[in-house]
């Protein structure tokens, strides 16, 4: 997940910044894993790439019963069922790390189920962002690691549940 200094994560159903180092980190972390995404997040990926994220399985949370998520993805009616499906896919592949990739409602509903947060802290304050994480959302976590991003516009941080 990427957030600015005020925990803004989106604008107009998209990331409000373009940081190639963040996209490369996201790909490195998530490749080969199962993801949980809300429909709007999934559709923003489809708009950008024309297909679901390659090399990953995406469980898409949507209230639309006939939603066609695309190859490499499946729709689910709730965050809990999407998380369960993603965990089953990970277990079948003998892996154990599911990535919740947004949006804010999905993050909010699954935050209690998350043990680790990979955060790209974007060093700016967006005035026109329209989606933000709630105040104190990292309160149950402690900073356990960080690495240089190679781009002064952001830092890579790792938080683990206390």
Per-residue confidence in pLDDT tens, the chain, 162 aa: 999 999 999 998 888 999 999 999 999 999 999 999 999 999 999 999 999 999 999 999 999 989 999 999 999 999 999 999 999 999 999 999 999 999 999 999 999 999 999 999 999 999 889 999 999 999 999 999 999 899 999 999 999 999
Q: Report how many domains make up the chain.
A: 1
> Measuring CA to CA, which residue among 66, 74, 118 is closest to residue 97?
118
| 62, 76 contact by CB (below 8 A) | yes
**Cβ burial 129-148 (10 Å sphere, 16+ → b, else e):** bebbbeeebbeebeeeeeee
> Measuring CA to CA, which residue among 46, 38, 116 is closest to residue 79?
38
> Measuring CA to CA, which residue among 146, 133, 138, 145 is closest to residue 162?
138
Tell me, what CATH number does 25's domain have? Answer: 3.40.430.10
Domain region containing 149: 2-161
> Measuring CA to CA, which residue among 66, 92, 15 is closest to residue 74?
66
pTM of the full predicted structure? 0.94
């Amino acid at each position: 997940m990427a957030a600015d200094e005020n925990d803004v994560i989106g604008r107009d159903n998209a990331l409000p910044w373009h940081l190639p180092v963040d996209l490369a980190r996201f790909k490195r972390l998530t490749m080969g894993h199962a993801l949980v995404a809300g429909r709007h997040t999934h559709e923003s990926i489809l708009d950008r790439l024309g297909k679901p994220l390659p090399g990953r399985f995406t469980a898409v949370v949507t209230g639309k019963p006939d939603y066609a998520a695309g190859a490499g993805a499946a729709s689910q009616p709730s965050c809990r069922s999407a998380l369960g499906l993603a965990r089953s896919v990970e277990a079948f592949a003998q892996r154990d790390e599911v990535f919740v990739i947004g949006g804010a409602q999905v993050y909010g509903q699954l935050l209690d189920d998350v043990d680790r947060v990979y955060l790209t802290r974007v060093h700016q304050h967006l005035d026109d962002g329209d989606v933000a994480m709630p105040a104190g959302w990292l309160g149950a976590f402690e900073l356990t690691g960080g690495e240089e991003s190679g781009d002064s516009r952001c830092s890579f941080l790792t938080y683990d549940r206390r």
